[in-house]
Structure 1
Amino acid sequence: MNKELELKFISDLEENQNIVHKVCRIYTNNKDAHNDLFQEISIQLWKAYPKFRGDSKFSTWMYRVGLNTAITIYRKSKRSIKTQDFDSVLHKIESVDYDDTEEEQLKLLYKAIYQLSDIDKALVLLYLEEKNYKEISEMMGISEVNARVKMNRVKTKLKNILNP
């Protein structure tokens, strides 16, 4: 790869790295796993970058590569991942004189999201990022109608998890 392409990749990655962090957060539950996944997604982005044609926005392409990488890794290694259970960490968190209602709701939401399938997690991430169904369908490689149907099903699943 030439130096110009390398510099462009580094610039694009730095500018959009929050996308990768969001994907990592949805598929991991500790810092080490997050860092490992971030590194793996960055490697896959680097490998695929010369083939990026610009048919879609860079961020759309980045979501697609990131989500596909995360889903592939966690499907392959799901049985052997050693992570700390989210519940065991909760007792270590102390609230300091502020209303933590929103934070607690977010924790419950993420706990519910962890229970979803890999594809459903990706849909929720993109939905929470306020992507429209056209963008979601492009990033997920599905039709817009399919994205809407799947998202409605995921919302129902989350409601059932959060309000048993």
Structure 2
Amino acid sequence: MKKELEHQFVSNLEKHQNIVHKICRMYTNDQDSHNDLFQEITIQLWKAYPKFRGDAKFSTWMYRVALNTAITLYRKSKRDIKTQNYDEVSFKIKAHDYDDETEQQLKLMYKAVKELNDIDKALVFLYLEDQSYRDISETLGITEVNARVKMNRIKKALKSIINP
């Protein structure tokens, strides 16, 4: 049973790992931090996976765990962040190379998004991932109306950051 659970988890994570990479990019400034956050999110996903009931899509659940992990770690960034050793986890994920060159046109927007608070960053990320406002509200634990209002305000804020 454990091997089957592990196989399902690895398969789902490999299929959706770009979600985690994008979250890491939103919340980090360098490759080492990106790698550390990716590792920590992977560990937190694995720890939480036995509780995944399938009520939501795996990707929606993954967004929630990954965003919560990123927000929690980087709110505490003034303190030392303790992570587990990736080698202690029995499975290995085949990581795709994360190529910054393919996302050159997004650099300006990522820079602007990094100026937003943690929750607004998460909302923008989910919006850019073409998540419905219903899914965004579920993932962030806010109402659908609140998600729409916040997104409209964020769009205006991003426009003023990008075009001062």
Report the TM range for the smaller structure's normalisation: 0.7 to 0.9
Within 5 Å, give how 1:1-164 maps onto structure 2: 2-78=2-78, 103=104, 105-164=105-164
Instruction: Output the TM-score relative to the length of structure 2.
Output: 0.82
Instruction: Output the TM-score relative to the length of structure 1.
Output: 0.82
Larger Rg: 1
Q: 1:137-163: per-residue Cα shift (whole Å, max 9, x none)?
A: 111111110100111111111111112
SS in structure 2 at match of 1:24: helix
Quote the Cα distance in structure 2 between the aligned partners of 1:49 and 1:116: 30
- Tell me the CA shift for residue 78 of structure 1: 4.7
* 5+ long unaligned stretches in structure 2: 82-102
Percent identity between matched residues is: 74
- Structure 1 consecutive aligned stretches of length 4 or more whose deviation exceeds 3 Å: 78-81
Q: 1:17-57: per-residue Cα shift (whole Å, max 9, x none)?
A: 11111111111121101000000000000000000000000
Number of matched pairs? 144
* 5+ long unaligned stretches in structure 1: 82-101
Quote the Cα distance in structure 1 between the aligned partners of 2:148 and 2:79: 31
Quote the Cα distance in structure 1 between the aligned partners of 2:26 and 2:78: 14
Letter of the structure 2 residue corresponding to residue 3 of structure 1:
K
